[in-house]
Every structure is written in structure tokens, then in C-alpha cells.
Structure 1
Amino acid sequence: MSATVTYLFDPLCGWCYGASPVIEKLAQHNGIHLVLAPTGLFAGSGHRMDAAFAEFAWSNDQRIARLTGQRFTEAYRENVLGRHGSPFDSSAMTLALTAVALTEPLREREVLKALQKARYVDGLDTGNAQVVGDLLRQMGLDLVADQVAAADLALLERNASRLQQARRLMRSLGAQGVPGLVVHTASGHRLLGGNALYGEVDQLLEQIANTCGNRAS
């Protein structure tokens, strides 16, 4: 099987974090070309953490943990959800991922995974641009960190274009949120909903193969 698959996500999405083990296995499968497409769902939202949202998020996170086995630690609960007034905004992370895609494209998935671990396991507020920059430097991505800090017009325009492209794809397929996978074939595109990302990777690969076969027929 050979297929190009676009992964629609937001780095602040807990369900996307829950899907990351399957995404990792999918990306390592021969014949699958995985394209990361951040949607900016929580970028520039203007939302700030408060007690009600923190309670809702933690309850949701526990559902994700039970379904996927992904960890949401007390450090995350206390230092991220407990920081009332802090922005719930994926702008810095999304910009960092775009900068990585432009300069170190083979490391973009690694950076996304590191950002998710930093938040949900280590309890670091990755909505904070300084935290994101520090993490990039710890990964040896000093140039990327400098680009994100400078946020020059070229990077901002490329980031905006990337988000617009992902959103257009979502609208065209009727996607209501993230995560989602889009399978591309010569005759069109097919959306696989988020539920496809919480089972076994073999089942997901079978869905992708069937989609390619159906589209090709």
C-alpha cells in the first residue's frame, strides 16, 4: 500500500495527544507519507484558563487517558490547569511547528511529541512562548527558537497560509474538529474521523487501504 495521509490537529488538543501513539506508528509504516497539518483551532482564541474550564479539561483528559493510556499528570493539573488567568492559546506552538517544517522538516513530528509531553506529563505551560522557545533550544533547535522569537513577516505569512490550507481542507470535507486524517487519492480525498485514531494501527491501515481501493475503483 502507498498512500499520502494528512493529519489535522492542534498541539493544544488533548484528543490529538491521545492519538499520538497511533500517529507515531502510522508515520513509521512503509508506504505511508504522513503530512502534518496544524489547523490553528486554539491559536489566537483569546481564552484564558479559569476554574470551570480547568475542571472540564481535566474530566475530558481522564476520558482520553482511559481510552488511550496516555498520561495526564498531577504536575499538568496543578501547573497548567491550575494557572488561572494563563492563556489557552496554541499560537506559539503552531508557529514553532511551522518554523521547524521550514528548516528541519524531518523533526516536526518529534517537536510536536515533545511539546505534548512537556505539557501533559512535565506540567509546563506550552501556551507560553518562552516555554516553547526554551524547549526548542533544549532540543538543539536554536535557529528555530530564534525564528519563533523574531516572528518575522515571512514566517508569519507562511504560518497563516499553512493554517488556511488546513482549514480549507477541513471545510471541504465537513470536518467539525480535530484530530482527523485525510486520505488523498488520485480521484479525491476522504476524511477519517478521530475515532479511527484510538484503536489498533493495523485497523487504521486497513481503513486507509480500503479507502484507497474504494476511491480507485
Structure 2
Amino acid sequence: MTATLIYCYDPMCSWCWGFSPTWTKLQKALQGLVDSDQLVIQPLLGGLAVDSDVPMPEGMKASLESTWKNIQATLGTEFNFDFWRTASPRRSTYPACRACYVARDMGSEDDMYHAIQKAYYLDAKNPSDLDTLTECAEQIGLKAESFQKAMAHVKSEGLLEEEIEQARHLGLNSFPSLALLIGDKLIPIPLDYKDHSSMLNTMKKALS
């Protein structure tokens, strides 16, 4: 029986950015299981914040900047704090989630995820904006026009919302989250942001 490792994330979740290097190491360590068809890795979009054109309140901006500083102090993650002064933030992550959904259909979800994170956390660009997301799409080799059409389709059909509902149904309500699905049994995998080996050992034990 092939097991499924579900990775629930939001591309604009700062803890997902902090987890990114360790998640990359874990995926590499699991490659043998993937190659032997014992494991499938399935990304699932969590959706932190709904569509909004409202500027982010100053208090929320200060709170989120403080979270970035906490992650930087705890994990050594790099952030470009200019974002909070130059990018007109909105509390809206659904557009960035849709961009990853669209890229998945085009075989480039991981590339889009990394492109959005780089634009947001390092280049101080706003992934709540379609212009930024289109730029990310072009960087990973997607055509701007077809990307924007697909974005409109995913929004009009409520496809992202269906996926978010699936994540909630599985109890994956924080991001990032990892859970191992073996048959109809879902096993939450406790996260270690600094070392992938404990997660790897937990999974191997569950699979044996």
C-alpha cells in the first residue's frame, strides 16, 4: 500500500518560509521511498486569509513584522523588512494560494511556491497582487495570459476553497502541517523546524 505524506502550507505563511530548508532536506531524505512507490508527497493549500482589498491595519503590520523577527531570531531565516514600509500589505493570501494551485495543474507548484516566497520575503514584493504573482509565473516559465486566465477560473469555480475545506476536514488547521495517510488512518507528524531527522524517523516507524 502506498502511503501519502500531506504537506499543508500557505505560500505567505512566514513559518512555512522558516520551515522551508528543513522541508527540502526531508523531501530529499524521502526520495527513496517516493521512487519505490511506497510514498506519495501531496501538497495541500491551507489558505490563511481570504481575498481582501483592504489595507492592513498598522497593529497587524507591527504584529506580523514581530513574528518575522521572532522566526529570524529562532531559526536564522532571512527576511527583507522593507516589505512593511514599501509594499502596501493586505491581509489576503488566497491569491498566492491560487497561484500555487494553477502552477500545480501546469506541473510547477514547487517552483511557484519558491518564487512567491522569494518575491515576498527577500524582494519585498506583495504576493497579494496579481502583478507580483504573474511576474512569479513568468519567472518559472509560465505564460502570463494563460496563467491569469487560469487564476480567474480557479477563483470563479471556488476550487481553492474546496481544497481548504479538505484540509480543515483532515484537521490540518495550522501551517505548515505534516500528516501521514496510511489507508484511512491519518498520523500527524510533529514538526521540527531545525532538524528533519526526527520527522523522518517518525515516518519510517509508522511505515514499517
Q: Shift of the alpha carbon at 1:113?
A: 1.2
Q: Distance in 2 between matches of 1:158 and 1:52?
A: 32
Contact 1:183 1:212 (8 Å CA) reproduced: no
Higher relative contact order by CA 8 Å / sep ≥ 6: 1 or 2?
2
Q: Quote the residue 1:190 is aligned against.
A: 187
Q: Quote the residue 1:177 is aligned against.
A: 174
Deviates most, 65-74 or 43-52: 43-52
Is there any run of 5+ residues in structure 1 with no aligned partner, and where? none
- Counterparts of 1:202-217 in structure 2, within 5 Å, are 202-213=197-208
Q: Shift of the alpha carbon at 1:59?
A: 1.1
Q: TM-score, normalised by structure 2?
A: 0.84
- Given residue 106 of structure 2, which amino acid in structure 1 is its aligned partner? T
Instruction: Please give the per-residue CA displacement for 1:93-126, whole angstroms capped at 9, x wherever unaligned.
Output: 111111111122xx21121011011101100011
Q: Distance in 1 between matches of 2:164 and 2:184?
A: 24
Is the partner of 1:49 in helix, strand or coil?
coil
Q: Distance in 2 between matches of 1:139 and 1:158?
A: 22
- Given residue 182 of structure 2, which amino acid in structure 1 is its aligned partner? T
- Given residue 199 of structure 1, which amino acid in structure 2 is its aligned partner? K
2:50 to 43, 59, 70: 43
Q: Shift of the alpha carbon at 1:46?
A: 6.9
Q: Distance in 2 between matches of 1:37 and 1:100?
A: 13
Q: Which structure's residues are more often helix, by fraction?
A: 1
Please tell me the root mean square deviation across aligned C-alpha atoms, in Å. Answer: 2.3
Q: TM-score, normalised by structure 1?
A: 0.81
Of all paired residues, the percent bearing the same amino acid is 21
Write out the 4+ residue segments of structure 1 that deviate beyond 4 Å after TM superposition: none
Q: Shift of the alpha carbon at 1:3?
A: 4.5
Q: Distance in 2 between matches of 1:9 and 1:144?
A: 24
Is the partner of 1:152 in helix, strand or coil?
helix
Alignment length (residue pairs): 199
Q: Structure 1 residues 46, 6: closer, same or farther in 2, change over 3 A? A: farther
Q: Distance in 2 between matches of 1:192 and 1:79?
A: 37
Deviates most, 88-97 or 203-212: 203-212
- Counterparts of 1:19-34 in structure 2, within 5 Å, are 19-28=19-28, 29-30=30-31, 31-32=33-34, 33-34=40-41
- Counterparts of 1:107-126 in structure 2, within 5 Å, are 107-126=108-127
Is the partner of 1:36 in helix, strand or coil?
strand
Q: Structure 1 residues 87, 183: closer, same or farther in 2, change over 3 A? A: same
Is there any run of 5+ residues in structure 2 with no aligned partner, and where? 35-39
